[in-house]
Structure 1
Amino acid sequence: MATDAWQHARDSAVALWRRVHPDRVPAVEAELAEVRAEVIAAREEGDVQVEGELATDWQRRLRRLLRDDPSLEIELRRVLDQEWNPLLAPAEQVRIGQVQLNATASGQARVYQAGGNQTIREA
């Protein structure tokens, strides 16, 4: 949020809110401006924790937005994948897709499932 691409990312975020909560757009615009200033200050001070907390806060906001209007899922995925993710440094471009695990076990069977790394140690 502290890069030159800020305006593009900001416009995309405002467009999402405008669809679901047009009455909240002025507040969201003001909050985004405030967050941008906080991110810039955090980066200048090397405060990674503050930047992470701000990102977590906006992740929660996006989840609530999606909860309020589930039809935004496709548009939100497009914005995240095609507009916001490319603005990040390559190391920050993490994408978590959908993980669905199903298993059936019977008798003495064991099922081990993981959406990522898994270590099993049995004696």
Structure 2
Amino acid sequence: MDPIVLAAGTALVTAMATDTWQQARSGAVALWRRVRPEQEKAVEDELAEVRLQILAARDDGDTDTERALAGAWQIRLQQLLREDPDLANELKQVLDNVLTPALSLNEREQYGEITMKATASGQGRVYQAGRDQHITER
């Protein structure tokens, strides 16, 4: 599954439990509107239901339900990308500009994948880190 889909599905479900859930819902609905406009209202309604399920799961400490819901939305997002591969850029924008900002720092660290590539030639050095990095050289 596309790493952006994995991150977006998880972030979408997680964002549904925040105060900015309406923005998260709007971002997801915009994707459906582009590929399957006839399903726009149904997706809006389903996301409202997901919000209720997530809030109940969090109240109960039920992380399995939250993971299952994230998985279900990951599959749905993957299906959209199969129908319209060009939607990947728009999904990435929704992830970066709508979903991720709705999450706490701790929630942001629970999902996502980092892919880094670097090339050095000669005696060049490359330092990469997904988080903190401290380098001491003489």
Fold equivalence (TM over 0.5) = yes
Bigger RCO of structures 1 and 2 (CA < 8 A, at least 6 apart) = 2
User: Structure 1 residues 97, 70: CA separation in 2 closer, same or farther (over 3 Å shift)?
Assistant: farther
The CA deviation string for residues 61-80 of structure 1, in whole angstroms up to 9 with x for no partner, is 11111111111111101111
User: Structure 1 residues 71, 98: CA separation in 2 closer, same or farther (over 3 Å shift)?
Assistant: farther
Q: Which amino acid aligns with 2:49?
A: E
Match of 1:95 among 104, 108, 112: 112
Q: Please state if 1:59 is matched with 2:61.
A: no
Superposition TM-score, scaled by structure 2 size: 0.67
Instruction: Tell whether the 8 Å contact from 2:18 to 2:103 is kept in structure 1 after alignment.
Output: no
Tell me how far apart the structure 2 counterparts of residues 46 and 66 of structure 1 sit (CA, whole Å). Answer: 32
Partner of 1:33: 48
Number of matched pairs:
100
Tell me how far apart the structure 1 counterparts of residues 116 and 41 of structure 2 sit (CA, whole Å). Answer: 36
Pairing 1:39-118 to 2, within 5 Å after superposition: 39-93=54-108, 94-98=111-115
Instruction: Quote how far apart the aligned CAs of 1:98 are.
Output: 5.0
| Aligned alpha-carbon RMSD (Å) | 1.6
Q: Which amino acid aligns with 1:71?
A: D
SS in 1 for 2:86: helix
Structure whose alpha-carbon radius of gyration is higher: 1
Unaligned runs of 5+ residues in structure 1 are: 101-123
Instruction: Quote how far apart the aligned CAs of 1:91 are.
Output: 2.2
Q: Please state if 1:11 is matched with 2:26.
A: yes
